[in-house]
Amino acid sequence: MTEPTVRAVDRADLLTAETSEGAQELQRRELTPTGELGREVGAVLRVDGRVLDARSIDVDRRDDETMIINMGPSHPSTHGVLRLMLELDGEFVLRTKPVIGYLHTGMEKTGEELSYIQGATNVTRMDYLSPVINELSYSMAVEKLLDIEVPERAVWIRMMMSELNRMSSHLVWMATNGMDLGSSSMMIYGLRERELILAFFEKTTGLRMNLNYVRPGGVAADLPDGWQDDVLVICDTIEERTYEYDQLLTGQPIFRNRMIGVAPLMAEEALALGVTGPLLRSTGVAWDLRRTMPYLAYDQVDFDVIVGTYGDNFDRYAIRLNEIRESARIVRQCVEKMPSGDYRSQDPKVTPPPRARIGESMEALIHHFKLFTEGFHVPAGEVYSAVESPRGELGCYLVADGTAKPWRMHVRAPSFVNLQAVPLLMRGGTVSDAITVISTVDPVLGEVDR
């Protein structure tokens, strides 16, 4: 029998030292200046004109009356490796601080090492629930720098795939939100419906997630034969089933009690925090980049921007549910209006020659080889391109220096910014409300940490 080399007491210290994030963590009350106590309540409270209200935070409370606990980083309801430090008074949440970075893999640094063609495979892994929209934002940035036109058909294919992806992302949200509230039937239904879309993605692109389908210059492949029928069946089925969700959740008393009036957000708070997407729309601000700053061909299709009133959990739920219906509406119009033509730009600078020509032409082979080993050169410049992802404004800031690799690739991740609303929303609620808040803010940790 071997002697233990570290005593249990030392080991506790060692473990603390190894797992502690130091100053990044939520500090104890006695270490926090009074003026700063409002910080974790939500940064908005420190804006001019919205000074810290003495009633909203009890500065006299001492540390031994409250408790700081960790929720996460591997808690089933935190939707990934999100770690929330909650200061609790009994069951009520006083302060919250999200501690993130557990999934940080340096994807922005990786992006600088990959050529522009490879870049799409990198960004697609950030927000893994809406890969098409990530690729779209990136590809649009590259295309703006290259100053190339994308053929009409590619634009419409991109738009249709984005909307299908938005549906699948919202369905996963419906599923996990149902799961968080104890409705495991919703979990099964949401993932069942998403499966239809993933199957179509697999048929079109060969992959279910992380598609690398939208690329600079167009899309990777044309739609498969009979895609109209597939897509229409998906729309019919999902649209019909959203009415089943209405029966299952929308009118259900327990669900309503946990959602209505819980964790309200005001429009000015949302704007101050930079929150976008369904969270911002739930406060009554009709801001949807698809409508307000149209990209692709969104100005040629008919759809409604869903807006809430109170900014509470229920509004956020209702917006996402109705956005599924609106997306189905857009997809139907895409089927109707899909133009014929090329699915990728014929600019030889970015597009490899067709497969058939590689076998017969030496030049085509060299061209293909050069394009995929060296990549294409992008003129020096910098650009910011933003699209509406299911979670909000997804921006890509790209700096090119004239070589085949980006000098800097920065992604403005909506989840990362939206997460700042969590401490504000959780303030004063119970721990069980905290679960619904994380759920309705809908962070995707792959995107938060990048």
Partner 1 sequence: MIDLPVGAPEGVVVADAVGADVACFPTREQYFELVSAFKDGGYELCSDVCAVDYLGHEDRLLPEGVAATRFEVVVNLLSLTKRSRVRIRVQAGDEPQVASLFSLYPGVEAMEREAFDLFGVIFTDHPDLTRILMPEDWEGHPLRKDYSVGRVPVQFKEAPGPR
Note the residues at the interface with partner 1 (CB under 8 A).
20-24, 36, 39, 43-44, 46-48, 100-101, 104, 106, 108-109, 113, 144-145, 271-276, 285, 287, 292-293, 380-386, 393, 395, 397, 399, 401, 407-408, 410, 412, 416-417, 419-420, 449-450
Shortest CA distance to 221 belongs to which of 308, 343, 353, 104?
Answer: 343
Report the SS3 class of residue 319: helix
- State which residue, 48 or 64, has the beta carbon closest to partner 1: 48
Q: How many CB atoms lie within 10 A of CB 347?
A: 14
Quick one: CA dihedral 162, 164, 166, 168, positive or negative? negative
Q: What secondary structure does DSSP assign to 126-189, as a single string? A: TSTT-HHHHHHHHHHHHHHHHT-PPPHHHHHHHHHHHHHHHHHHHHHHHHHHHHHTT-HHHHHH
Provide the minimum distance between the beta carbon of 60 and partner 1 in the complex, in angstroms, as a whole number. 22
266 by Cβ neighbours in 10 Å (0-12 / 13-18 / 19+) ranks as middle
- State which residue, 191 or 267, has the beta carbon closest to partner 1: 267
Provide the minimum distance between the beta carbon of 201 and partner 1 in the complex, in angstroms, as a whole number. 29
- State which residue, 42 or 375, has the beta carbon closest to partner 1: 42
Residue indicated by tokens 């929330």: 84
Do 168 and 197 contact (CB within 8 A), yes or no?
A: yes
- State which residue, 145 or 262, has the beta carbon closest to partner 1: 145
Provide the minimum distance between the beta carbon of 141 and partner 1 in the complex, in angstroms, as a whole number. 9
Provide the minimum distance between the beta carbon of 147 and partner 1 in the complex, in angstroms, as a whole number. 8
Q: How many CB atoms lie within 10 A of CB 70?
A: 14
- State which residue, 136 or 417, has the beta carbon closest to partner 1: 417
Provide the minimum distance between the beta carbon of 145 and partner 1 in the complex, in angstroms, as a whole number. 6
Q: What secondary structure does DSSP assign to 186-234, as a single string? A: HHHHHHHHHHHHHHHHHHHHS-SSS---EETTEESSPPPTTHHHHHHHH
- State which residue, 26 or 179, has the beta carbon closest to partner 1: 26
Provide the minimum distance between the beta carbon of 79 and partner 1 in the complex, in angstroms, as a whole number. 18
Provide the minimum distance between the beta carbon of 292 and partner 1 in the complex, in angstroms, as a whole number. 6
- State which residue, 190 or 311, has the beta carbon closest to partner 1: 311
The rounded distance, in Å, linking the Cα atoms of 97 and 194 is 32
